[in-house]
Amino acid sequence: MSVQQDKEDELQRRCNRNRKRSQRRKIYCPIHGCYLDSVSKKFYLYADTPGQLQARGVSSRNARMLLAQQQAIPLSDEWLEAFWCQECHQKTWYRIRKRNHIYEVSSVPAEIWQQVTGVIYPDHNPSVSEFTQRQVKKLGYHTGKDFR
Ligand SMILES: [Zn+2]
pLDDT digits (tens, 9 = 90+) for 94-119: 999 998 889 999 998 877 776 665 45
112 within domain boundaries: yes
**Residue 17, domain member (yes or no):** no
* Å from CA of 85 to ligand 1 middle: 5
Q: Could you tell me if residue 140 is left (phi over 0), alpha (psi between -120 and 50 degrees) or otherwise beta?
A: left
What is the distance, to the nearest Å, from the Cα of residue 110 to the centroid of all Cα atoms in its chain?
Answer: 14
Q: Up-side HSE of residue 72: CA atoms within 13 Å toward CB?
A: 11
Tell me the CA–centroid distance for residue 36 and ligand 1, in Å.
8
In a domain, 8, yes or no: no
Radius of gyration of the chain from its Cα atoms, rounded to whole angstroms: 21
Residue-range definition of the domain harbouring residue 90: 22-47+77-126
Query: From CA 82, how far away is CA 123, in angstroms rounded?
Result: 12
pLDDT at 61: 95
Which pLDDT tens digit goes with each residue over 42-71?
Answer: 988 888 889 989 998 999 999 999 999 988
Could you give the number of structural domains in the chain?
Answer: 1
Per-residue pLDDT, 31: 92
Does some domain include residue 86?
Answer: yes
Which residues make Cβ contacts (< 8 Å) with residue 107, sequence separation at least 6? 30, 94, 95
Q: Residue 104 has what pLDDT? A: 95
Tell me what pLDDT residue 138 has: 44
Surrounding residues of ion ligand 1, Cβ less than 5 A = 29, 31-32, 85, 87-88
Dist. CA 47 → ligand 1 center (Å): 29
User: Is residue 5 domain-resident?
Assistant: no
Q: Please give the C-alpha separations between residue 98 and each of 23, 142, 144, in angstroms, as whole numbers.
A: 17, 42, 38
Q: Give, in order, the Cα–Cα distances in Å from 112 to each of 77, 131, 137, 144.
A: 15, 15, 24, 24
Q: State in Å: Cα 92 to ligand 1 middle.
A: 9
pLDDT in tens, 6-47: 655 555 555 444 444 456 789 999 999 999 999 999 988 888
Ligand 1 centre distance from Cα of residue 39 (Å) = 14
Determine the distance separating the centroid of ligand 1 and the alpha carbon of 98, expressed in angstroms. Answer: 20
Could you tell me where the beta strands, DSSP code E, fall in the chain?
37-38, 43-47, 73-85, 90-99, 102-106
Positive or negative CA dihedral for 56, 58, 63, 66? negative
Q: Is position 62 within any domain?
A: no
119 Cα–ligand 1 center, Å: 22
- Residue 142 lies inside a defined structural domain of this protein: no
Whole-number Cα distances in Å, 66 to 30, 58, 62, 76, 102:
34, 10, 6, 15, 27
120 C-alpha to ligand 1 centroid (Å): 22
For residue 3, the one-letter residue type is V
Q: 33 lies in a domain? A: yes
> Distance from the CA of 68 to the center of ligand 1, in angstroms?
41
